[in-house]
Structure 1
Amino acid sequence: MGPDTVIVVHEKERRSKCSVEPLRGRKGFSFVSYPLEKPVELAGYVRLAMEGPRLSLEDRASGLLVLDATWRLADRMESAFAEVPPRSLPYWETAYPRVSKLLPDPEEGLATIEAIYVAHLILGRPTDGLLREYRWGELFLERNRDRF
């Protein structure tokens, strides 16, 4: 299965709208609040990012670090984790209905739970139940059926 997936959630992220909230307490997932109260040991981890080499099976033994916040806040969080090698994902179409009033969302941007699902699929980790409580899970899978 590999090391835990560590999800760093910005303090301003509304838990009621957070797509990864149902993963709290699930084996294989650890949650950390940002700003960090204490350093987090991330040796041997890779960080999901918009830019960087593609995540691949070569990363299978690595832990997965995921930053969870609005796009604007996530950009600011990245500097705190710059030492963790970034990995990008191939294009998948999001099902999350975003409407930003401040900044445009990246075309290739996924909801956090969608990104975790794709990353786990690539790394050969279990995906069973990851999308179970995600409101747009079935639509996400339907839109990306040809990518499996």
Structure 2
Amino acid sequence: MTPISIIRHPKERRSKCSLTPLEGRQDVQFYRARENWSFDMTGFTVLGLGAPQLSAEDAGRPLLLLDSTWRLLPQLEACLYGEGVRRTLPAVATAYPRVSKIAEDPHGGLASVEALYLAKLLLGERDDALLDAYYWRDNFLNTLIDAQILSQ
């Protein structure tokens, strides 16, 4: 089972975060970024945009997910140091009905729990329990089936 580390932006609201139900899982470690804090990403697969697509060949490294709004993401990126392996996810429509009054989400911008689920799926570790508390679970799974990423 791939270990998962999640770094949250200090302004990320836990009450609205799709990852909050995963707190307490043995395979998931949460960190809260703060001023003058840093994280060594050496040896991690780091999910982000503009990198080669994640695949089964990336299995074996722990997974690092940055949990933030798109607008604040550069602040989390600035906390990282070391040599991680950056990967991106295939463009899939989110099922999360978000509306930003400040900025538009990039194409392929998923809710954090959707990104984590898809990453584990692509690594060959389907884990439906990640979506147990996700309200839009069925819509998201149907999106993955329609995109031929997930079979029924």
Q: TM-score scaled to structure 2, two decimals?
A: 0.89
- Give the SS at the match of 1:118: helix
Percent identity between the aligned chains? 42
The whole-number CA distance in structure 1 between the counterparts of 2:29 and 2:121 is: 19
User: Is the CA contact 2:40–2:81 (under 8 Å) kept in the aligned structure 1?
Assistant: no
Runs (4 or more) in structure 1 with deviation over 6 Å come to none
Letter of the 1:76 partner, please give it.
Q
Using the TM superposition, give the Cα deviation of residue 57 of structure 1 relative to its aligned residue in structure 2, in angstroms.
1.4
Number of residue pairs the alignment of both structures matches: 147
Whole-angstrom distance in 1 between the partners of 2:19 and 2:71: 18
Aligned to 1:123: 123
Aligned-partner SS, 1:106: coil
Unaligned ranges ≥5, structure 2: none
Alignment root-mean-square deviation, CA: 1.6
Aligned residue in 1 for 2:99 = 99
Pair 1:78–1:119, CA change in 2 (3 A): same
User: Structure 1 length as normaliser, TM-score?
Assistant: 0.91
Aligned to 1:31: 30
Q: Residues of 2 paired with 1:72 and 1:34: CA distance?
A: 15
Corresponding letter in the other structure for 2:119: A
1:116/1:62 CA distance change after superposition, 3 Å: same
Kindly indicate which of the two structures has a greater share of residues assigned to helix.
1
AA aligned to 2:60 is A
- Give the Cα–Cα distance (whole angstroms) in 1 for the partners of residues 25 and 128 of structure 2: 12
Match of 1:73 in 2: 72
State the distance in 2 between where 1:112 and 1:70 align: 10
Corresponding position of 2:20: 21
Counterpart mapping for 1:34-113 below 5 A: 34-35=33-34, 39-81=38-80, 83=82, 84-113=84-113
- 2:47 and 2:71 map into 1 onto residues whose CA distance is 16
